[in-house]
Structure formats: C-alpha cells, structure tokens
Structure 1
Amino acid sequence: MNSSTVTLNNPIAGQRTTIIQDIKSLVKFIVLIANVLPVIAGFWLALHFTNTSLTEHLGTFLLTIGGSGLVIAGALILNNWYDVDIDTVMERTKQRPTVTGNFSLRAVLIMGIAASVLGFILLLFTSISAVIYALIGWITYVFFYTMWTKRRYTWNTIIGSVSGAVTPLIGWAAIDASFHIVPFALFLLLFIWQMPHTYAIAIKKNDEYKAAKVAMLPAVRGFKVTKVHMVIYIALLFPIPFLLSSLGTTFMVIASILNAAWLALAIRGFYMKDNYKWANWNFLYSVNYMTILFLLMIFVTLPIFYN
C-alpha cells in the first residue's frame, strides 16, 4: 500500500488523516514555504548583483534551497515537539500529529534533529556564511523563541522575527559573502513585517492564546496597545523601498503604495468595532504583501526587464 494513502485514527477529533497530511502539519508546510521564498529571493538577487547566472550556480541553488528548507523544517518540527501542551489547548493546532498521537514525541524529536543536521550539512557545501546565518535563525527560533520567551514575554515576537528575517541572508551568502545594502534591507523588511503580521494572528486567535497562557501582546496588554504597535511597525516599513532603490523605480513605487495601503488599513482598526474581522484583513494583506514584494524583486531583475 502506498504510504501516502495510509490513514491514521485521530483520538481527539475522531477524524482520519494521511501520513502526508500529518507530515505537512508537522513541518507547518505553509510557514515552511513562506520562509523558503525569501531564501530564493536572496539567492536570485545575489546572482543579479554579482552578474552571474543561475545556470552557473544551479548545484549551489539546489543545495541552498534543500539545506535551508531542511533547517527550517527541523526548527518547525522541534517547535511542534516542545509546544505539544499548548497545541493541545489551541483549537487550530489540535490536528497536529504530536497532539493526536499519530507520531510519538520521541519520533518527532528525532525527526527535528535529523532534518536540522542534514540541512546544515547541505549548506556546508555552499558557504560558511550561509551556515552561520542558518544557525543564527535556528538557535533563535528553537531556543530563544520557542523554549524561552514565547510563554513568558510579550516581546517573544521580536525574538521570533529575527529567525525569519535571516532567510534572505542565507540565500545571498550562498553566492556572495561580502556586505551589500540589499540583503541588509531584506533583513529589515522581514524583521519589521513579521511584527504586524504576527500581531494580526494574535488578535485573531486571542482567546486561544489566553487559554494556552501564551504571552502574546493582545492577550496581555489588550487590542488597543497592539493596534498602536502595528501602526508603528508598518510606518517603519516606509524607508525600506528607498534602501532597495537599486531594484528600480517600479519596485520602489509599488512597494511604497503597498506600505501606504497597509498603514491605512491598520489605522482603520481604531474605528472598527469588529476587531477579529479587522485582524483577519490585516493578516491576509500581510501575506499577500510579502508574496507580492518578493516575487516583484525577482520580476524586476529578470534580464528582459532590468535596464
């Protein structure tokens, strides 16, 4: 029988899940893809600014994507392993195999460590700088965020943002280890973006975070304070397009328009009665915002479009 069609009993929800579904849940597949995209963008932009082609570095590209993907997946798996008690309480995480018992915690721990180690080994064949950036992200997410700050401090979001922000640096460093304003700007973009993005999720799932006793800002200090923080962080995104002026006027204009629209949406939150609806709008906007920007970075640097 094909392993992808094997179904497993879910003792909590009484539903049946496939092994593929459980693995996708374990590695937080959507989150994984969202973190690999900036790696690809960083790699692509490094090729562009060093005047080299993808065909020249195809092997390095595969090692970079495979290695970084495994490192990120390993960190996410270890997050699931450590947070099983929280995931049991929160409605949106009750289907994870660590909660249902489809995978034993010991097996999950081994998977997380194995994926991480294999990922670092693959990245060693690219550059030491790429490994260092990946290690910074992994340690920050697994130890400083998951195991230390997430349950205790509202500034856990700041710590978690560091791990997500290093992803384009991994891709860039696989090609060029020298300092350049572009990867620095990408780091700032991702670091700042993750704050309002995560706050929107925290407002949407405020009741669940309270029940799980996770110290998210809305659960501890309320919606109004969280909205103020969101407006401040979104405003901090405005200089980023100008740091990326080397990508051309088209990118700068579109990025600036996206920033202005997001700020207007954030300010509207002070006048809306339905906080959860507003938070969902911000969440959806933030996801599309980042996807559009990183795809646009690649688009405007394609040889047929870039002057």
Structure 2
Amino acid sequence: MSNQQILYDEKVERKSLSKLMQFFIDVKFLLKGKVLVANVLPVLTGFCLALYISNQSFQDNLWLFLLTMMGSTFVISGALMLNNWYEVDLDKKMKRTEKRPTVNGNFSLNSVLWAGIITTIIGHGLLLLVTWEAALYSFLGWFVYVILYTFWSKRKFTWNTIIGSVSGAFTPLIGWAALLPANHLIPITMFIILFIWQIPHSLAVYINRLEDYKNAGVPMFPVVRGVHESIKHNLLWVAHLIPFPFLLVGTLGWSFVIFATILGLAWVVYSVKGFKANDKQKWAKGNLRFSLVYLILLSLFMILIGV
C-alpha cells in the first residue's frame, strides 16, 4: 500500500471519528445532559429507599431495577426531545441553546419529533412491565412537562416554573413505585423536596441567562419581576427545604436529618449573599452549582442508606 493511500485512509478514518464524536455531542445537547442526570438520579434514590424500607436485596430485584432505570430514562429523554422540537424558535434566539442540534441543523426537526415520540412510548412500555403505578407517575411527569409546561404555560405565564417543578417531582415516585405503593411518607416527602428544589434551581438559570430570556420573549420570573425580587423568592424557596427532612427522622434517622439540614442552611447562607453581590450573574452561576450539589449529595446520602 502506498504512502498516499495510507494518508487517505487515515484522513477518512479521522473524518468518520469526527462525525461520530459530533453525533454524541449533539445527543448530549439534545438531551440536555445535566438535566437528564438530575431527573434520573431521584428515580434511583426512590428505588434504593424502597429496597431499604421493604428489606429486600438489590440482587433479587436486579431485573426490576434495570427495567425501571431504562424505562424512566427513555421517558425523560423523550420529554426533553419533544421540548427541544417545540421550542426551536425560542432556542434560536438564545445563546445558551445555540449548540442544540435542532438549532444548528445537525438533526432535522422531524427526526427529533419522532425520536421523542418513540422513546416516550418505549419508556412507558418498559415501566408497564415494572408496575402500573410506576408507569402512571412516569406518564404524569411527562404530561406535566410536555403538555402543561412546554406546550401551554411556558410562553404565557410567569408561574410556568411552578408547573415545570411539579413534573420533576414525580421522579422519586417512579423508583419507589417499582417496589412499593407510593402512599408512604418517604416518597411523598421526596416529592415535596424535589418540587421545592427545582424552583430556586430554575431561578438561578433564569438570572444567569436573563438576556437570553428577554431576547426570546419568555416571561420567566426575573424577566417580569426583576432580579432583586427573584433573589428574594430564591431565598424563600431554599428556606422551605429545611423543615421537610425532619419528617423522615423516624425512617431515615437523625444522621440524614442533620446532613440535609446542614446542606439546606449552607444554601440559605449562599442565597442571602445574592442581595449584596455586585455581579448577580456570577452569583447565579454559583447558586446553580449549589443547587446541583444539594441534589446530588442529598440523593447519594439516601442511596447509601438504601444500599
């Protein structure tokens, strides 16, 4: 084989690898990477805590676990893809979404629409093999996010974030319902905590990307009510996180309550700093990171209890 042929083959191989890498990058932006993980993690948490309360072993429920995680991941992915498909006109006006394949044209809108529909159907089908209750909570979360939030309220109402937060709060119920009915204090409390958590988390995103939302004409809270008022509401919602872990002292113990309280108080302290921060955008970025740290550490602590 000639040197020229070798160089040509290497060039073709690099080009193929580049296209493959770009495909995975596009998928990451389409599924909003961190958003997908933040929604799947509470499913795992709910499953592990249900194992703990029912005194069942992970090994005996491995197949059920795989079905639950795959099904919920498919449903959440489907919802995120449908969100991207519907909001492409808004995403084109925002810097934070300029790398999404629906915006740059790497994926056609029709393919994204069908991918969202198919993954949603597959996900719900898998969860129906788990329990009807897990499938129900999955459908409710999907319906609230896609229909009530994305299609209906996001472009019309400032309180659209409240609706969106209800959607994400269903995720721990999916994991719990794979093993036990969700009429238990633990999944109900987790639902409340996840609902509250998502509001300051979202406010941090909106403040950080305020100009984007103004340009797109989306009536998010900081756009309509201002940054200072948003910081006040952020503090209010974060403070509401502190009392709810105390409901679980009888089931998860004082170690969990103390850990959750320390996390909550630390977030309150950081939230207060927002009032005096000279660079509100920089503070909002920190607040966003703090919200993710809170969710991840709280979830991991619960998972460790469960296993």
| TM band (smaller chain) | over 0.9
CA-based RMSD of the aligned residues comes to: 1.5
Counterpart residue number, 1:247:
252
Equivalent residue number for residue 305 of structure 1: none
> Does residue 210 of structure 1 match 2:214?
yes
Corresponding position of 2:50? 46
Shift in Å, 1:95: 1.1
Distance 2:68 2:200 in 1: 29
- Aligned to 2:127, the other structure's residue is in SS state helix
Whole-Å Cα distance in 2 between the matches of residues 129 and 4 of structure 1?
A: 44
The question of 1:286 aligning with 2:298 is answered no
Counterparts in 2 of 1:176 and 1:4: CA distance versus 1, 3 Å: farther
Partner of 1:14: none
Quick one: distance in 2 between partners of 1:47 and 1:32? 23
Structure 1 Cα separation of the partners of residues 290 and 258 of structure 2: 18
CA distance in 2, matches of 1:2, 1:116: 34
Match of 1:100 among 100, 104, 118: 104
The answer to whether 1:148 aligns with 2:152 is yes
Contact 2:49 2:305 survives alignment (8 Å): no
Over 6 Å off, 4+ runs: 1-4
- What residue number does 2:28 align with? 24
Change (3 A) 1:174 1:3: farther
- Kindly indicate whether the alpha-carbon contact (under 8 Å) linking 1:151 and 1:215 is maintained by their aligned counterparts in 2: yes
1:267 aligns with 2:276: no
1:109 corresponds to: 113
Q: Distance in 2 between matches of 1:138 and 1:270?
A: 35
Contact 2:51–2:306 (CA<8 Å) still a contact in 1? no
Distance in 1 of aligned mates of 2:37 and 2:117: 20
The residue number in structure 2 matching 1:185 is: 189
Structure 2, unaligned stretches of length 5 or more?
Answer: 1-12
> For 1:163-211, what per-residue CA distance to the aligned partner results, in whole angstroms no more than 9, with x for missing partners?
1100000000010015110000100110000001100110000000100
- The secondary structure found in structure 2 opposite 1:89 is coil
Q: 2:236 matched to which residue of 1?
A: 232
CA distance in 2, matches of 1:172, 1:4: 43
Question: How far off its partner does 1:6 sit?
Answer: 4.9
Report the TM-score, using the length of structure 2 for normalisation: 0.93
Q: Is the 8 A contact 1:248 1:300 kept in 2?
A: no
Q: What's the TM-score, normalizing by structure 1?
A: 0.93
Q: Structure 1 residues 221 and 60 mapped into 2: Cα distance closer, same or farther (>3 Å)?
A: same
Aligned length: 294
1:5 correspondence with 2:17 = yes
Tell me if the contact between 2:92 and 2:103 (Cα under 8 Å) persists in the aligned partners: yes
Alpha-carbon distance in structure 2 between the residues aligned to 1:278 and 1:82: 31
Matched AA of 1:7: K
In 2, Cα distance between equivalents of 1:195 and 1:95? 25
Deviation at 1:65, TM superposition (A): 0.2
- Which structure carries more helix by proportion? 2
The structure-2 alpha-carbon separation of the partners of 1:204 and 1:44, relative to structure 1 and needing over 3 Å to count, comes to same
Percentage of identical aligned residues:
48
Kindly indicate whether residue 270 of structure 2 is the aligned counterpart of residue 258 of structure 1. no
Structure 1 distance, partners of 2:114, 2:296, is 32
Alignment pair present for 1:276 and 2:288: no
Confirm or deny: 8 A CA contact 1:88 1:99 kept in the other structure. yes
Measured after TM superposition, the shift of residue 143 of structure 1 is 0.7
User: Equivalent residue for 2:9?
Assistant: none
Q: Closer, same or farther in 2 for the Cα pair 1:22/1:95, shift >3 Å?
A: same
The structure having more radius of gyration, on CA atoms, is 2
Q: Deviations over 1:132-169 (max 9, x none)?
A: 10000000000111111111111111000011100000
**2:166 matched to which residue of 1?**
162
Give the Cα–Cα distance (whole angstroms) in 2 for the partners of residues 169 and 120 of structure 1. 15
Deviations 1:46-74 (A, max 9, x none): 01101101111111100000000000000
Q: 1:95 to 1:43 in 2, by over 3 A?
A: same
